[in-house]
Amino acid sequence: MSKGFNIAIVGATGAVGVEMMETLEKRNFPVKNLRLLASARSVGKIMKFKGENIKVEELRADSFQGIEIGLFSAGASRSKEFAPFAVKAGTVVVDNSSAFRMDDDVPLVVPEVNPEDIKKHKGIIANPNCSTIIMLVPVFPLHKVKGLKRLIASTYQAASGAGAQAMEELKIQSRDILEGRIPQISVLPQQIGFNLFPHIDVFLENDFTKEEMKMLFESMKIMHHPSLKVNCTCVRVPVLRAHSESLLLEFEQDITPEEAKAILSKAPGVTLVDDIKNKKYPMPIDASGKYNILAGRIRQDISRDDKKGLTMFISGDQLLKGAALNAVQIAELL
Amino acid sequence: MSKGFNIAIVGATGAVGVEMMETLEKRNFPVKNLRLLASARSVGKIMKFKGENIKVEELRADSFQGIEIGLFSAGASRSKEFAPFAVKAGTVVVDNSSAFRMDDDVPLVVPEVNPEDIKKHKGIIANPNCSTIIMLVPVFPLHKVKGLKRLIASTYQAASGAGAQAMEELKIQSRDILEGRIPQISVLPQQIGFNLFPHIDVFLENDFTKEEMKMLFESMKIMHHPSLKVNCTCVRVPVLRAHSESLLLEFEQDITPEEAKAILSKAPGVTLVDDIKNKKYPMPIDASGKYNILAGRIRQDISRDDKKGLTMFISGDQLLKGAALNAVQIAELL
């Protein structure tokens, strides 16, 4: 650790925090010093970064002296409390929570979509919601060419989206059910072992969940597309760490599956997996551990008489591109 | 077993066959004699019906003498081979396979939708595909009042849809993964333990699967609605026996969520489960073992400027209403 930046990871022991550290190492990010911050509960824990042992310190108002980039992933309330201290200390905050995403003076960035927005930051850059990132990486290149008007999404979201404890809960409940015990619910709102439920984040006035509305509002902001229409249903499924989404897209212009495949085969951050003869299509187990979003099952929307509709299926690692990788990519652009 | 009908179950030892027998018993169907037919492999197996032991017999061309109703659930090729022998013997066949569903002289029946079609049968009545039945029970009452034009569906289909062996494969793979072993794939086309995949039935010329196209063609036939538009993506998920579906509906007339809830709260075969404040919405574990289809998360489609769009989430037991119950209901109408 010589040349490079002084980095802090806030929420270092969480599911996303761990992936942030690993992503910094794997992508050879120029780190001079790495500070691992977490709640009092995790203080003193030792984590390995590039072969060195780093002790987890307590997150405090004065934790950010000399820190140039702070990667936050400790929930919205901690971000709201501690990001201002970091900004005051001169740290640029890349925040993975929902705390600042819709603030006018906070850029909301997917590096493959709107990297130029980073320049406008005033100390904080927000990392979008995982389902939104995973959706926009393959959707934006199609929008650029054909003009997206409307998007219908149904998600298949992994336990990891609710943190490391939810992943553990999925495993424990699955084992309990297989062994004839009654599964206990503690982290997620419903049983997740061999079950699924259309309830992610809180319910809002219009009976949509906050997660479902993020897919609309965040997409509008990231793509600078105020007239975009999105209808979404978000569903938690018994999968560990990759989200999938079934999408129906409506464009200004005609688009064929062949055109879409040609666009996506060259799109940054996308791997086209659409070879049905050989049973190749996006699946969570194949997306897990991968940086790219897998896109496939690309077909013409057969519920329309014209050629302006497309339907496809995508999978992406929720912890990587959905969170840690996107944050590190933002840090790389800084 | 005195008054009543002579019934045969073909494929009696399969996941659906077992449920057919239990449904006959639970609904007190007037059975005089019950013959259980299966492939040579299962011959001699003993099954209990109303406290009596019945020996499984081999399915043969001459198995149908004296049988008035034959409930078939042994796959399309067995139905094609043996249903003609049954019809010749005077048996009315209720066939759960896809063998005859689209034949012009075979009624395709969901008793809550088109019971009158049964009268037109010429010996064979087809039971629709499970995902289609589960979708149409709540969709048809809305269509009757508001005129359905277009339907976008993404499914979350349980392992049971591929039979008892697929359910077992889900359990075995889940246990293997939890215990650190590499899961073995034998029944389903991909790993199902902690995974999901957009591949049910075979792929067709237009890159949709046969399962996805059934949702269109069978819906048109059952609802007598030749201009209906359907776009569907069918996904297998690691759930044991209830299918869920995320639906977007477009109607001729305006419809509000309140109107839809009022219609569905009185619809036959539907249980409205839409109380988000108390975390009540359709889920596979709640639909399992139930006769009714659960419908909830009913919202206005916010990707439209008018009030002609609705979105909702449904769950239904694949083995019961998706198969065995629907077949027994058809037999009851006979």
* Average pLDDT, integer, range B43-57: 95
- Residue B277, C-beta contacts closer than 8 angstroms, at least 6 positions apart: A203
Phi and psi angles of residue A270, each rounded to the nearest 5 degrees, phi first:
-115, 135
* Average pLDDT, integer, range B203-226: 98
* Average pLDDT, integer, range B162-189: 97
Give the pLDDT confidence of A136-150 residue by residue, as tens digits. Answer: 999 999 999 999 999
* Average pLDDT, integer, range A96-111: 96
Q: At the top level of CATH, which class does the domain B132-318 belong to?
A: alpha beta
Half-sphere exposure in the Cβ direction for B129 (13 Å, CA): 25
Q: According to the model, what pLDDT value does residue B262 have?
A: 98
**CA B106/CA B117 separation, integer angstroms:** 9
For the four alpha carbons of A13, A17, A18 and A22, in that order, the dihedral sign comes to negative
**CA A177/CA A18 separation, integer angstroms:** 29
Does residue A208 carry a pLDDT above 80? yes
Q: Specify whether the CB–CB gap between A313 and A246 falls below 8 A.
A: yes
Tell me if A207 and B151 make a contact (CB, 8 A cut-off). no
* Average pLDDT, integer, range A110-121: 97
Does the active-site annotation cover A130?
A: yes
Tell me if A300 and B206 make a contact (CB, 8 A cut-off). yes
Residue A3 — very low, low, confident or very high, per pLDDT cuts 50/70/90? confident
Give the position of tokens 């929008």: A143
Direct distance between the N- and C-terminal alpha carbons of chain A, in angstroms, rounded to an integer: 19
- pTM as predicted: 0.95
Of A284, A299, A304, the CB nearest to B196: A284
**CA B167/CA B186 separation, integer angstroms:** 12
Query: A281 vs chain B: nearest CA distance in angstroms?
Result: 7
Q: Which residues pair with A279 in a beta bridge?
A: none
Q: What is the ipTM of this complex?
A: 0.95
Q: According to the model, what pLDDT value does residue B1 have?
A: 44
Give the pLDDT confidence of A31-89 residue by residue, as tens digits. Answer: 999 999 999 999 999 999 999 999 999 999 999 999 999 999 999 999 999 999 999 99
Does the active-site annotation cover A232?
A: no
Q: CA nearest B174: which of A184, A160, A194?
A: A194
Does residue A1 carry a pLDDT above 50? no
User: In which region does residue B183 sit, left (phi positive, over 0), alpha (psi from -120 to 50) or beta (all else)?
Assistant: beta
| Pairing, β B46-49 against β B52-55 | antiparallel
Residue B3 — very low, low, confident or very high, per pLDDT cuts 50/70/90? confident
Q: Specify whether the CB–CB gap between B119 and B156 falls below 8 A.
A: no
Q: According to the model, what pLDDT value does residue B2 have?
A: 57
Q: Specify whether the CB–CB gap between A142 and A248 falls below 8 A.
A: no
On whether any CB of chain B is under 8 Å from the CB of A171, the answer is yes
Give the pLDDT confidence of B85-100 residue by residue, as tens digits. Answer: 999 999 999 999 999 9
The nearest alpha carbon in chain A to B283 belongs to: A197
A235 vs B contacts (CB less than 8 Å):
156, 244, 246, 313
Q: What is the mean pLDDT of chain A?
A: 96
The nearest alpha carbon in chain B to A298 belongs to: B207
Domain boundaries of chain B, sorted by first residue: 5-128+324-333, 132-318
Q: Specify whether the CB–CB gap between A325 and A269 falls below 8 A.
A: no
B248 vs A contacts (CB less than 8 Å):
152, 231, 248
Q: According to the model, what pLDDT value does residue A2 have?
A: 57
**CA A161/CA A10 separation, integer angstroms:** 17
A278 vs B contacts (CB less than 8 Å):
none
* Average pLDDT, integer, range A296-309: 98
Q: Specify whether the CB–CB gap between A242 and A318 falls below 8 A.
A: yes
**CA B108/CA B208 separation, integer angstroms:** 22
Note the CATH number of domain B5-128+324-333. 3.40.50.720
Q: According to the model, what pLDDT value does residue B72 have?
A: 97
Tell me if A230 and B303 make a contact (CB, 8 A cut-off). yes
